[in-house]
Chain A
Amino acid sequence: MATGAQIAQRATQRARLEEGHAQGRTTSAVFNGLMYGAVAISVLALAVLLYEVIKDGASAVDPQFFQNQPSKVRPETAGAQSAIYGTLWLMAITAAIVIPLGVATALYLEEYADRTRWWNRMIEVNIQNLAAVPSVVYGILGLAFFVRAPLDLGSVLLAGGMTLALLVLPVVIIVSREAIRAVPPSIREGSLALGATQWQTIARQVLPASIPGIATGVILALSRAIGETAPLLLIGAAASPRFNPEGLDSAFTALPVQILTWTTDADQESFLPLAAAAILVLMAVLLAMNSVAIFLRNRYEQKW
């Protein structure tokens, strides 16, 4: 039988518990508020950013913008043709270099490398490190290695493309490795059991099966390269050239560099719509590339 004192004690305990729960609920509510606030701010930041760029730039995206050459003195007739061509050229060069290099490295690391060997571990750690080297440092590499001696190419498209290729190489390697790793061992074993050599197995079974994943990675890497400004500044991308690039050894500019030039120009106000218009074009290309990457990922995602 519970004594009066015990009953009273239980009552206070229950009261304390309820008080605790009430406090917990308040803390939870505050925490929920903080959390939703954080998510809202992050999403809002992107929305405001897009809105501002569209508001500033939409009116400047007209046929003239694509047909005319950049200018630092006549905002009313300036376009971005040489920058658009420069960006397309850079993409082509970067892709031509980074795809074979990145896929070959990924194949080596996944299919051939013996992980107990120190040089293979060194290559892996090295790639992880390269992935986080600031892009401006790649610019210094391009300047000191490609533009000037030893390669001495000058401030040309090839130097820019090579620099961007090295910059995004780690991304391509890392994503390609994941795609290759996702191909189940049974596919390889089946092929080897039928008498195929290791390379035949890789070239005819593993590689075709991992192409969607690799393509996704390549697109993501290129969409990073397309937005890079700093390395191209170091390489010496020209300010507002009034000619389109004609070959690998041509001087060039690219959209991000042209945006920077227009954003920081002395006579800023009149060039801001142009900068915003160039951002819109750049973002449209980026969005298109990302959509293709997402499409590829969803369309070819294989369950083994």
Chain B
Amino acid sequence: MAEPLANAASSSDGVRAALARTPTVRSRYESVVKGLLFAAAAVSVLTTIAIVYSLFRETVNFFDEVPIGDYLFGDKWTPLLNGDQQSFGVLPLIWGTLYLSLIGLAVAVPLGLLCAIYLSEYASPRVRKTIKPVLELLAGVPTIVFGFFALTFFTPEVLRGLVGLDIGTFNALGAGIVLGFLVLPTIASVAEDAMTAVPRALREGAFGLGANKRQVALRVVFPAALSGIVAALVLGASRAIGETVIILVAGGTVARLSVDPTEGFQSMAAYIAFVSRGEASTGSIEYLTLFAVGLTLFVMTLVLNIVSIRLVNKYRQVYD
């Protein structure tokens, strides 16, 4: 009788010891897992640091050779020419970027917002279920396909043929309008989300006061969703500014300070891609311009992103 009891006592001691031990083994294992997951999350922060580091490291070298004032305020961008003709004023590139984006947004903003109003306020669930995937499909088309489309169809067949414009192969109008179709789904989908999030009560209140559908959509829902809509526009602008391949293929390769949309223009992103296609040897001034222009582009989109995140957060607080 004594022995089993002793056994029982010792085994319960064992269990107690195991219980006492287990949590530490478990919690050590748990904290290793947590550490690993945190390390994965840290990669995205490291990515940002690496982006900023790689942009700055070479930009500093660039400004050793080109005065920063010449870069920021110069009105001629010809870094690939030789000798006296070489010039590093970034203004024409910035202007080209903004001008092409403006043309794109002039197409994408009205079309995108009208599509968003239609999908959120007018379309029946069934129509919505067909139109939305089409817009999503448009958003999923690779930009090189848009570039191909602009170069081989839109400029020659539509602008030159159908409209009858006297226009070059590379021009701001063709590239800009096609760029607009790239940005359109982004604007439509974010704006639609913002308008769908407007509470029903607001619509019903307006209908109760005798407003018709258009008045409800334009005077009640649209203003109520305004910050979300503005965020959609800012996001669209940021996509347009960063877009590379359409402009590389169809926009031309000359950085210009001009407003003639039948001429070719170059944007910052397209310049970066253009130079990288040629052989820019490490350390050469052509190679260094990549980083100075890249940093300029990065800062511009960063500012737009921060504005857009702020707006989205602000608008979320209102109706959540």
Contacts and interface: CB of A to CB of B under 8 A. Distances in A.
Interface of A: 24, 27-28, 31-32, 34-39, 41-43, 45-46, 48-49, 52-53, 56, 100-101, 104-105, 107-109, 111-113, 122-123, 125-130, 132-141, 143-145, 148, 166, 169-170, 173, 197-199, 223-224, 226-230, 233-234, 236, 256, 259-260, 263-264, 272, 275-276, 279, 282-283, 286, 290, 294
Contact of B235 (A28, A130, A132, A173): A132
Interface string B141-160: 11111111101110000000
Interface of B: 26, 29-30, 33-34, 36-45, 47-48, 50-51, 53-55, 57-58, 110-111, 114-115, 117-118, 122, 131, 133-138, 140-149, 151-153, 181, 184-185, 188, 212-215, 218, 235, 238-239, 241-245, 248-249, 269, 272-273, 276-277, 282, 290-291, 294, 297-298, 301-302, 304-306, 308-309
A229 B306 CA distance: 26
Contacts of A128: 305, 309
A77 B148 CA distance: 22
Contacts of B276: 139, 143, 233-234, 236
B148 to A, nearest CB: 5
A260 B144 contact: yes
A25 to B, nearest CB: 8
B118 A39 contact: yes
Given A42-B138, A260-B249, A283-B141, A134 B48 contact: no
Contacts of A122: 45
A228 B142 contact: yes
A46 B110 contact: no
B306 A129 contact: yes
Contacts of B133: 294
Contacts of B48: 126, 129-130
B134 A43 contact: yes
Residue from A36, A137, A260 whose CB has the most chain B CB atoms within 10 Å: A137
Nearest to B181: A45
A140 B290 contact: yes
B294 A125 contact: no
Given A43-B134, A233-B277, A256-B144, A141 B54 contact: yes
Nearest to A202: B33
Given A31-B214, A104-B41, A136-B272, A42 B141 contact: no
Contact of B137 (A41, A46, A126): A46
B148 A263 contact: yes
A43 B131 contact: yes
Contacts of A272: 152
Contacts of B248: 230, 260, 264
Contact of A275 (B40, B135, B148, B244): B148
B37 A104 contact: yes
